[in-house]
Amino acid sequence: MTRTNRWITLAGTATMMVVAQVGIQLAGAGPAAAVTGIEKVTSPLSAVDSQQTHTARAQCPAGKWVIGGGGWAFAVAAADSAKVTLVQLFPEHRTDGTPDSYVVTGSETTAAMTGDWWVQAYAICASPSGLSGYQVVGTRNSATSSPVELEAQASCGTRRAIGGGARIVNPGRDVALQISRASGSGDIFRAGAHEDADGYAGNWTVDAYAVCVNQPAGYQVVTTASAQSDSEAEKIAFAHCPSGTRVHGVGAAISNTAPGGVSLQVVYPANALDSVQAFAVENTPVSQDWDFIVSQAICAS
């Protein structure tokens, strides 16, 4: 079975899986406004070749602001399917008159990778008039060295993260993204990355991004675990927004008990903005259990 067919099969059967889903709805101090003009924008594919890294940028329509997004890293040959990873997923809000965008970078995880591969970016955009208190907050982990793993978080304070992202700075081929998700209450957005089992001699760090707004109507953070929770080669999770709400932001994470060599490969908002899919793989075979992964949909009316 090809990697594409395997993904379609998993997506088609996921609704039959029994998974844990948690939605937290926060009560506002007064009537909250709805976000308006929300839409998903899909970037063209990056170059399809065997370069070490690929970047794609999904641009918002003129006059709209980025509120969230996701990305997909895909190897063309099934034999290479586990050899690419996401290393950057972040919103780019512009003040120079150029469009906002959501930026996605992927990386090969081994120099032995010779096959073609690509990344694609997905931006969720909205009209500024419905984004009271809008601000993109970025926070870099203060450590810039060669640790085994690092986490960072961007805080919205009394506002809420409607979306966000994570970016590894100088990942080489040996550091992969494992966390890009909001907290359950939505006050912060977390980022996390891990060196592979062989370690990495270079210095690196990780940034977290939160798209902060005053809490919109119907705001909920829905987090759903994968059915797989052992040492599977790949894991998938789906999070669905409740009726009457839509996906505004996207998140995903691998359990913090996971070792290196395990990474996020897909964080995908559905075209209808009703659900989010997350996919993670073992870049190299891992014998220990690495628990479940989660998909996260930040939902609002």
3-300 maps to which CATH number? Answer: 2.60.120.690
User: For position 142, what pLDDT does the model report?
Assistant: 63
pLDDT score at 201: 87
The first and second tokens of residue 189, run together, are 């957005």
CA neighbor of 160 nearest in space, from 197, 191, 188, 195: 188
To 5 degrees, how large is the angle CA 245–CA 226–CA 161?
A: 40
Are the C-beta atoms of residues 252 and 191 closer than 8 Å to each other? no
Per-residue pLDDT of the chain (301 residues; tens, 9 = 90+): 333 333 333 333 333 232 333 343 333 334 478 999 999 999 999 999 999 999 999 999 999 999 999 999 999 999 999 999 999 999 999 999 999 999 999 999 999 999 999 999 999 999 999 999 999 999 987 666 778 999 999 999 999 999 999 999 999 999 999 999 999 999 999 999 999 988 888 999 999 999 999 999 999 999 999 999 999 999 999 999 999 999 999 999 999 889 999 999 999 999 999 999 999 999 999 989 999 999 999 999 9
For the chain, what percentages of helix, strand and coil (3-state, to nearest 5) are there?
A: 5, 50, 45
The pLDDT value given to residue 143 = 66
Instruction: Give me 253's structure tokens.
Output: 């994470």
Q: State the pLDDT at residue 198.
A: 87
Global pTM exceeds 0.85: yes
Interacting residues of 51 by C-beta distance below 8 A, sequence separation 6+: none
Nearest to 83, CA basis, from 113, 60, 116, 53: 113
pLDDT at 90: 97
